[in-house]
Amino acid sequence: MVRIHRTYQNEFSCDGRFEFIRLTKDGKTWINEAEIPVNQVRQRVAALMEDRAERVVYVVVDSELSYGQFAEFLGKIVGATDDLHVIVISGEIRREFEKPRVFIQSVDGI
């Protein structure tokens, strides 16, 4: 269940964007396609979720990371904002996420 806190003073958006946060085995941190310094994860997540009606992030960590590394990273995300729902992507879904993607842009708008 996602709780939505709405007051008349605050307007919330629900633009349908998904936020994927990733920690790679070499210590690099990504939010969607943007690489960010790991020490800015909490602030960036807080800014992204500031006006969201649904505060949900998807976390993907490389399978080679230790549990301690994962727990430390998760701790930086969880406290970013009130009512943040963190979904950890693992197993088969993570393997699909890690596959290289090819994006083809159509020249005729299709």
User: Mind listing the pLDDT tens digit for each residue in 1-25?
Assistant: 555 554 545 555 556 678 999 998 8
pTM of the shown model: 0.72
Contact 21, 45 (CB under 8 A): yes
State the average pLDDT for the chain.
Answer: 79
* pLDDT tens profile 83-92: 899 999 887 7
- Cα separation of 109 and 63, whole Å? 38
- Cα separation of 32 and 30, whole Å? 6
- Residue 12 is predicted with a pLDDT of 52
- Cα separation of 92 and 108, whole Å? 35
